[in-house]
């Protein structure tokens, strides 16, 4: 197995990104990508020499200053001024995994040969990635329209020896790390600053990170839901294949099949049931979880297109002998999709909390899942916590994509707000992980009251592993550390199916 990933024009997909991350692969340019970059740069240099007419972003100002002509001797300063002046990020620092994805996706986009950057610039970005030198980037500042300008400016600052970077667990001024590696700051040539700053890599990196998490959580939602089905002594007839073949949404069918597989051989599910029907939060798991799966498929398709695209401006088309100023940096496709993903993942948390509520209700087991309720509050308050998080998710799911604020003196008069959609969507996904961890905590406790009857062998093995980290609660204890251990179990328990991206 190669320890390198070669940047090329072949389609980069979620599976490959997961492998790059999980196997900590180094990046390298393919010969094809190197030729693409050099061909576009050579073309641009020749164009500037022979043609003195204004070309946006190459020998003009930016935004509403697009009509201001810049002399040839000032082109490097123009590009460096652009990077420095646009580094206006504020708010929380974004996480290192997302920064790594931003670097990867920016390198991928520049490699197609439609951006006009130099080989030196792309290679330095690759050096940053391979040596885990990660620019410090802030969560606020992008309108998600003229590209993710402020975040990508912070991504680019270290190229010219400005800004800060993470290295070996600490934050350093970029110039310190450049000196450590004996690297000279890059002297940005015409258009390079604009190519670096225009683009959707802040939004895209958040989306890819969230998709990886969301597929994992979708799997866990089904697995934990299956535990809850037996813990609440539910009928399994709602998961019968025939029910779903007459309403054949793909996600619904897949969810029902997975629940049947998880519960195969369960003594509990095979017992006669006193209750003819179960609450929707159990009975409608295929319909609700399935709808989220179908949303993930839609989001996956959108982001697969985006990360294999050129999203800076203007675009260079060497063979057609054209430099075209367009709007591929506009994040509207992503903004709508990110809002949709947040809603879909919030619903996994919403229905999970309803199952938590039912499990502690005392209707089919001891009240609050503990012996001697009254003296012990048991699992009363984890449900409160889940309800609080579900409520916050509902607030975070107010769409960002319906908003727009005019910027750049009216030149940029419609923006996507996709960056805001991205950052709040990440919080929704993180919240959903916590809600599911609470359901696993509750459902595993509730299942113990079904003894001596057992659930399926598969789920018994899951619970056996879980018990090594999270014990049964016999009497009141501090619950917060146990919820955290439940989350960690979900993160660390290894099963290949968590990462099937279809």
Per-residue pLDDT of the chain (502 residues; tens, 9 = 90+): 468 999 998 899 999 999 999 999 999 999 999 999 999 999 999 988 887 777 776 777 766 666 777 777 778 888 999 999 999 999 999 999 999 999 999 999 999 999 999 999 999 999 999 999 999 999 999 999 988 999 999 999 999 999 999 999 999 999 999 999 999 999 999 899 999 999 999 999 999 999 999 999 999 999 999 999 999 999 999 999 999 999 999 999 999 999 999 999 999 999 999 899 999 999 999 999 999 999 999 999 999 999 999 999 999 999 999 999 999 999 999 999 999 999 999 999 999 999 999 999 999 999 999 998 889 999 999 999 999 999 999 999 999 999 999 998 888 899 999 999 999 999 999 999 999 999 999 999 999 999 999 999 999 999 999 999 999 999 999 999 999 999 999 999 887 676 777 7
Q: Would you please indicate which residues are annotated as catalytic (active-site) residues?
A: 56
- Return the number of other C-beta atoms located less than 10 Å from residue 247's C-beta: 11
pLDDT value of position 172 = 98
Q: What is the spatial distance between Cα 384 and Cα 381, in angstroms, rounded to a whole number?
A: 5
Nearest to 201 by CA among 144, 278, 160, 270: 144
Q: Which pair of tokens denotes residue 46?
A: 């020749």
Q: Residue 281 to residues 11, 246, 392, 450: CA-CA distances in angstroms?
A: 39, 21, 20, 20
**Radius of gyration, alpha carbons of the chain:** 26
Task: Return all residues near 205 (Cβ < 8 A) that are at least 6 apart.
Answer: 98, 99, 101, 102, 105
All domains of the chain, ordered by start, with CATH? 4-199 (1.10.275.10), 206-499 (1.20.200.10)
Residue at token pair 């040839």:
72
Q: What is the spatial distance between Cα 479 and Cα 464, in angstroms, rounded to a whole number?
A: 20
Q: What is the spatial distance between Cα 502 and Cα 498, in angstroms, rounded to a whole number?
A: 11
Q: Which pair of tokens denotes residue 163?
A: 């800004």
Q: What is the spatial distance between Cα 119 and Cα 29, in angstroms, rounded to a whole number?
A: 10
- Return the number of other C-beta atoms located less than 10 Å from residue 325's C-beta: 13
Q: What is the spatial distance between Cα 48 and Cα 58, in angstroms, rounded to a whole number?
A: 8
The pTM is what? 0.96
pLDDT value of position 21 = 94
Q: Residue 337 to residues 198, 214, 299, 399: CA-CA distances in angstroms?
A: 20, 14, 6, 10
CA 402 to chain centre: 21
Q: What is the spatial distance between Cα 384 and Cα 428, in angstroms, rounded to a whole number?
A: 17
Within 277-375, residue ranges assigned H as helices are 280-283, 285-307, 332-359
Q: What is the spatial distance between Cα 15 and Cα 499, in angstroms, rounded to a whole number?
A: 8
Q: What is the spatial distance between Cα 424 and Cα 429, in angstroms, rounded to a whole number?
A: 9
Rounded to 5°, angle at Cα 189 from 167 and 40: 105
pLDDT value of position 311 = 96
Residue at token pair 């670097």:
103
CA 453 to chain centre: 40
């Amino acid at each position: 197995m190669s320890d390198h990933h070669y940047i090329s024009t072949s389609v980069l997909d979620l599976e490959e990104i997961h492998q790059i991350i999980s196997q900590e692969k180094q990046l390298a340019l393919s010969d094809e990508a190197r030729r693409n970059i050099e061909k576009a740069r050579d073309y641009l240099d020749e164009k500037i020499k022979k043609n003195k007419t204004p070309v946006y972003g190459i020998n003009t100002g930016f935004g509403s200053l697009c009509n201001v002509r810049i002399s040839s001797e000032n082109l490097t300063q123009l590009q460096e001024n652009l990077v420095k002046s646009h580094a206006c990020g504020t708010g929380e620092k974004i996480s290192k995994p997302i920064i790594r994805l931003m670097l990867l996706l920016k390198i991928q986009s520049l490699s197609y040969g439609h951006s006009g950057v130099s080989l030196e610039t792309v290679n330095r970005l690759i050096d940053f990635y391979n040596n885990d030198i990660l620019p410090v980037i802030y969560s606020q500042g992008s309108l998600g329209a003229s590209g993710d300008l402020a975040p990508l400016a912070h991504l680019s600052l270290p190229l010219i020896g400005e800004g800060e970077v993470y290295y070996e667990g600490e934050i350093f001024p970029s110039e310190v790390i450049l000196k450590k590696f004996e690297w000279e700051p890059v002297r940005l040539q015409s258009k390079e600053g604009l190519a670096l700053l225009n683009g959707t890599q802040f939004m895209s990196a958040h989306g890819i990170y969230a998709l990886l998490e969301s597929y994992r959580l979708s799997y866990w939602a089904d697995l934990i839901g299956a535990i809850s089905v037996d813990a609440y002594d539910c009928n399994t007839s709602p998961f019968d294949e025939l029910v779903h073949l007459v309403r054949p949404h793909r996600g619904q069918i897949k969810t029902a099949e997975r629940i049947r597989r998880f519960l195969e051989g369960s003594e509990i599910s095979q017992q006669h049931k006193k209750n003819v029907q179960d609450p929707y939060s159990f009975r409608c798991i295929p319909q609700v979880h399935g709808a989220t799966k179908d949303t993930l498929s839609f989001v996956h398709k959108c982001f697969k297109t985006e990360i294999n695209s050129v999203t800076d401006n203007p675009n260079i088309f060497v063979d057609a002998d054209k430099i075209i100023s367009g709007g591929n940096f506009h994040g509207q496709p992503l903004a709508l999709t990110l809002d949709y993903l947040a809603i879909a993942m919030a619903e996994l948390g919403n229905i999970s909390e309803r199952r938590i509520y039912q499990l502690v209700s005392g209707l089919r087991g001891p009240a609050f899942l503990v012996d001697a309720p009254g003296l012990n509050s048991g699992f009363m308050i984890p449900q409160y916590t889940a309800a609080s998080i579900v409520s916050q998710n509902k607030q975070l799911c107010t769409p960002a994509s319906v908003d727009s604020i005019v910027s750049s003196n009216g030149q940029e008069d419609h923006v996507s707000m996709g960056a805001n959609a991205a950052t709040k969507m990440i919080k929704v996904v993180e919240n959903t992980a916590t809600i599911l961890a609470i359901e696993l905590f509750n459902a595993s406790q509730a299942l113990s009251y079904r003894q001596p009857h057992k659930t399926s062998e598969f789920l018994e093995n899951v619970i056996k592993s879980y018990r090594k980290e999270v014990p049964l609660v016999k009497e009141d204890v501090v619950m917060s550390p146990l919820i955290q251990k439940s989350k960690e179990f979900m993160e660390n328990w290894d099963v290949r199916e968590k990462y099937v991206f279809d």
